[in-house]
């Protein structure tokens, strides 16, 4: 069994039968005779059928079937101090966090089971991105990119939507300044991508009543990833909500609507980073996350941690996660954060 999710069976909600009300009290109602011109109306029964729900491909949560018969939309989101607070991250099924130049991180937020009317700020792609989004397929949204990054997208199984060409349906909210001014609606961006390619499962999920477990499972209340620059990414377990609450640089990571960014599952996947051979406009060296291969990971679910191994044989393959005994690890149905620190970055779980 792998960390690759299986399509879950239909989750059917029982049909409810609502009977008509009978007369109250002790009053007797005379029976209609054969000669009566109008007999008493027959008792009727109304049947109400609840809508069919199915397990969402990327979260395992019950959704309308129409919500899985569409392409996913992966959007590159800024996570610099100037880019926070972001909009729409709470609606993403999966968020990948990667290190970029200048000591900051960026997100790739994947939307499939839910829509968001406003997502952003949307930023440029990096050479790390094609191997991440190729496993998701569908639509990949970013503002723009340098020639080398754009070249890496050639042959990737995604439909690109960007500001290049000026035809994409982006939104530019008042008060936002470049390069943090580009936002969009997931529904409009999906339509602009014009593809019906549905995502493959990225994870497998625990069944109802099934406990999170794995070889060496241990309690965990907090995890911090130091990206070695201006960003430390953390989560804190909140038993009341059953969520890992996100922190950035030690402070609560809140969104534009005031809500706290939180996740049902967190995967900390250590990957090599390699130089792509050029610097950004500020002179910072640009590195690339190498997500094809194998390595070590930590999986956080239900206030527990399991040390894991990850494996991804190709760009289009979903990453699999197994415990140290070789058994596949299942997540709790819900949204997932995948953090991609470099091998040299410190990771602390307590």
In whole angstroms, what is the distance from residue 279 CA to residue 20 CA?
74
Give the whole-angstrom CA distance, residue 256 versus residue 240: 23
Domain extents in the chain: 62-349
- Taking the C-alpha atoms of residue 76 and residue 107, their distance in angstroms, rounded to an integer, is 6
d(CA 65, CA 341) in angstroms, rounded, equals 35
pLDDT at residue 130, rounded to an integer: 97
pLDDT at 44: 53
Structure token digits, residue 233: 């990414």
Contact 136, 190 (CB under 8 A): no
Please list the pLDDT of the chain residue by residue as tens digits (350 residues).
444 443 333 333 333 333 333 334 433 434 444 444 444 555 555 556 777 889 999 999 999 998 899 999 999 999 999 999 999 999 999 999 999 988 899 999 999 999 999 999 999 999 999 999 999 999 999 999 999 999 999 999 999 999 987 777 999 999 999 999 999 999 999 999 999 999 999 999 999 999 999 999 999 999 999 998 789 999 999 999 999 999 999 999 999 999 999 999 999 999 999 998 888 877 788 899 999 999 999 999 999 999 999 999 999 999 999 999 999 999 999 999 999 999 999 999 99
Predicted pLDDT of residue 102: 84
CB 319 within 8 A of CB 306: no
**CATH placement of domain 62-349:** 3.50.90.10
Residue (of 237, 235, 104, 286) closest to 180 by Cα position: 104
Distance from C-alpha of 273 to C-alpha of 276, rounded to nearest angstrom: 9
Note the pLDDT of residue 159.
Answer: 96
CA angle at residue 286 from 100 to 284, to 5 degrees?
Answer: 95
Task: Specify the pLDDT at position 278.
Answer: 81
Residue 151, Cα to own-chain centre: how many angstroms?
A: 26
Alpha helices in the chain (DSSP H): 129-133, 147-152, 186-193
């Amino acid at each position: 069994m792998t960390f690759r999710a299986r399509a879950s069976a239909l989750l059917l909600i029982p049909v409810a039968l609502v009977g008509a009300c009978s007369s109250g009290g002790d009053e007797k109602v005379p029976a209609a005779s054969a000669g009566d011109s109008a007999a008493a109306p027959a008792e009727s029964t109304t049947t109400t059928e609840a809508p069919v729900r199915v397990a969402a491909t990327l979260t395992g949560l019950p959704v309308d079937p129409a919500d899985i018969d569409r392409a996913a939309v992966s959007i590159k989101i800024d996570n610099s101090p100037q880019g926070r607070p972001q909009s729409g991250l709470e609606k993403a099924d999966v968020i990948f966090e990667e290190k970029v130049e200048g000591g900051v991180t960026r997100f790739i937020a994947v939307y499939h089971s839910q829509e968001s009317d406003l997502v952003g700020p949307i930023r440029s792609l990096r050479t790390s991105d094609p191997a991440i989004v190729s496993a998701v397929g569908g639509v990949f949204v970013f503002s723009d990119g340098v020639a080398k990054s754009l070249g890496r997208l050639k042959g990737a199984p995604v439909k690109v939507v960007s500001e290049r060409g000026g035809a994409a349906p982006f939104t530019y909210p008042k008060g936002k300044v470049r390069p943090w001014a580009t936002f969009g609606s997931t529904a409009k961006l999906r339509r602009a991508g014009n593809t019906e390619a549905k995502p493959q499962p990225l994870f497998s999920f625990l069944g109802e009543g099934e406990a999170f477990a794995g070889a060496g499972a241990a309690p965990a209340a907090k995890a911090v990833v130091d990206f070695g620059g201006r960003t430390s990414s953390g989560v804190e377990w909140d038993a009341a909500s059953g969520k890992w609450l996100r922190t950035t640089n030690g402070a609560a990571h809140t969104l534009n609507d005031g809500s706290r960014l939180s996740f049902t599952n967190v995967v900390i996947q250590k990957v090599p980073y390699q130089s792509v051979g050029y610097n950004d406009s500020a002179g910072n060296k640009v590195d690339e996350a190498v997500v094809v291969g194998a390595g070590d990971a930590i999986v956080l679910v239900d206030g527990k941690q399991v040390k894991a191994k990850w494996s991804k044989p190709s760009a289009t393959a979903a990453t699999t996660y197994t415990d140290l005994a070789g058994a596949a690890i299942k997540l709790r149905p819900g949204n997932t954060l995948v953090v991609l620190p470099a091998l040299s970055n410190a990771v602390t779980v307590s």
